[in-house]
Amino acid sequence: MTIRQRPKHLNLLKIRFPVTAIASILHRISGLFIFFLTPILLYLLSLSLQGEAGFRRAGEWFDSVPMKMILMLLIWFTIHHFIAGIRYLILDLDIGLSRASAKISAITTIALAVVLSVLSIYWVVV
């Protein structure tokens, strides 16, 4: 009987994740970000609907650099979450379950999200 040596700690920065795992992790992170940012956006929406002064105050929020950065992240996370969600719905239909096709769909998801996000950020923020 041999005893296998197991690692004492797991360094996630040294592990090379497959692209399918990266797409899955980004999908989860984007969902969390959207979930936690929704109350702030609802507050700004209600503030902007209170009248002209509220609309100006909400506009001041969006004119700040940190809020523009958060808005850019929100655009990317929303687009990525939507596209990855469609990918997972297709996978739930047992389409593209082989390792090669799952890798291609994960790369396509990430690339498409990046391209659409850059176009959307340019159109909305800049």
Taking only the tens of pLDDT, the chain with its 126 residues reads 667 777 667 777 777 889 999 999 999 999 999 999 999 999 999 999 999 999 999 999 988 888 888 889 999 999 999 999 999 999 999 999 999 999 999 999 999 999 999 999 888 866
What pLDDT, in 10s, does the model give residues 35-45? Answer: 999 999 999 99
- Domains of the chain plus CATH, in order, are 21-124 (1.20.1300.10)
User: pTM of the entire structure?
Assistant: 0.82
For residues 32 and 81, give the distance between their C-alpha atoms in angstroms, rounded to a whole number. Answer: 10
Give the closest residue to 41 by CA, choosing from 27, 62, 23: 62
Q: Count each helix (H run) and each strand (E run) in the chain, helices first.
A: 4, 0
